[in-house]
Amino acid sequence: MPRRSIQHVPQLRFAGEHDGVGDVAFHDHPVPELILVVKGECRTETSAANFHSQPGDLLCIPAGVSHNQIDFGDVRTLYVGFESSRFNIKQPCQFRMTCRELIEHSLWMLFELHTCQWSGGQSSAGHLLALLLDAVHGVQTPDQKATLPRRLVDLQHWLETHLDGELSVERLAEQVGLSASRLFQLFENHLGLSPMQYVQIQRMARARQYLMDPYLTVKQIAPLCGYSDVNLFIRTFRRHHQLPPRRWRLKNCV
């Protein structure tokens, strides 16, 4: 899949996660927003239409449209705001996503890229957004299907329990029976990242989870995230978050 020209690459403006019980008040954004319901049921009200959403439903909210979210129990949603000349939906609408796994993973990765704010993140975010918009367009054009390759999905699941190990492109490729060059191509085409960039983002997400536990020291957390050298872990974390782990913990753990 060729890279898009710069003028057609979407720009990520915000990304986040709503997780728990609690309604979201009416608000609007100067850019379009996509909201995926991952867990639970909720109701979204806009001036044009109201939507009852379940897991797998994707809401498209145009720029400037005020909307809220009323949760029915425990609800989790992922959302992104972006700028793109390719997004031509003028009214709020909702789609049932048959390629939910791809959409959920893309939104989660955009959330991670936005949180980490690493130097190559904006380029990768633009690529992921383009894939996401292709998937939304595919819902309106049924002959187009957007999915992640099975081996890529299998590797992502495997990594969830192996982030603390010694990992390399060759090790990842061996796990799914591919050459290193073919694996690199799959990651670039479908996620806009190299395999080891993806691993590093996953490790930083794991590090933030562990840092929320006040009883774990930075020295204990480093090997749990695959870093035998605690100083390398601190430098990597600082590069991704503009703060060292201890200061990030003080800022984010109340």
Tokens 């955009």 — which residue? 110
- Whether residue 106 contacts residue 29, with contact meaning beta carbons closer than 8 Å, is answered with no
Segment 107-129 shows an average pLDDT of: 78
pLDDT, tens digit, for every residue of 207-236?
A: 998 999 999 999 999 999 999 999 999 999
Question: Under CATH, what is the fold of the domain 150-252?
Answer: Arc Repressor Mutant, subunit A (1.10.10)
pLDDT, tens digit, for every residue of 32-62?
A: 999 999 999 999 999 889 999 999 899 999 9
State how far the Cα of 3 lies from the Cα of 131, in Å rounded to an integer: 11
Residue 141 has which token pair? Answer: 């054009």
Question: Under CATH, what is the fold of the domain 6-140?
Answer: Jelly Rolls (2.60.120)
State how far the Cα of 72 lies from the Cα of 4, in Å rounded to an integer: 40
Residue 118: pLDDT band by 50, 70, 90 thresholds? low
Q: State residue 254's pLDDT score.
A: 62
Segment 87-106 shows an average pLDDT of: 81
Segment 10-34 shows an average pLDDT of: 89
Task: Report the chain's mean pLDDT, rounded to a whole number.
Answer: 85
What radius of gyration do the chain's Cα atoms show?
Answer: 19
pLDDT at 100 over 60: yes
Q: State residue 45's pLDDT score.
A: 95
Q: Write out the DSSP string of 37-57.
A: EEEEEEEEEBSS-EEEE-TTE
Q: Which of 17-26, 121-130, 174-183 has the highest mean pLDDT?
A: 174-183
Closest CA to 253 of 203, 210, 200: 210
State how far the Cα of 244 lies from the Cα of 254, in Å rounded to an integer: 17
Residue 145: pLDDT band by 50, 70, 90 thresholds? very low
Q: State residue 128's pLDDT score.
A: 81
Pick the residue with more confidence: 142 or 222?
A: 222
pLDDT at 148 over 70: no
Considering only 5-9, 50-54, 141-145, which range has the smallest mean pLDDT? 141-145
Considering only 18-32, 73-87, 103-117, 158-172, which range has the smallest mean pLDDT? 103-117
Domain ranges of the chain: 6-140, 150-252
pLDDT at 98 over 80: no
Residue 84: pLDDT band by 50, 70, 90 thresholds? confident
User: Across-strand partners of 70?
Assistant: 43
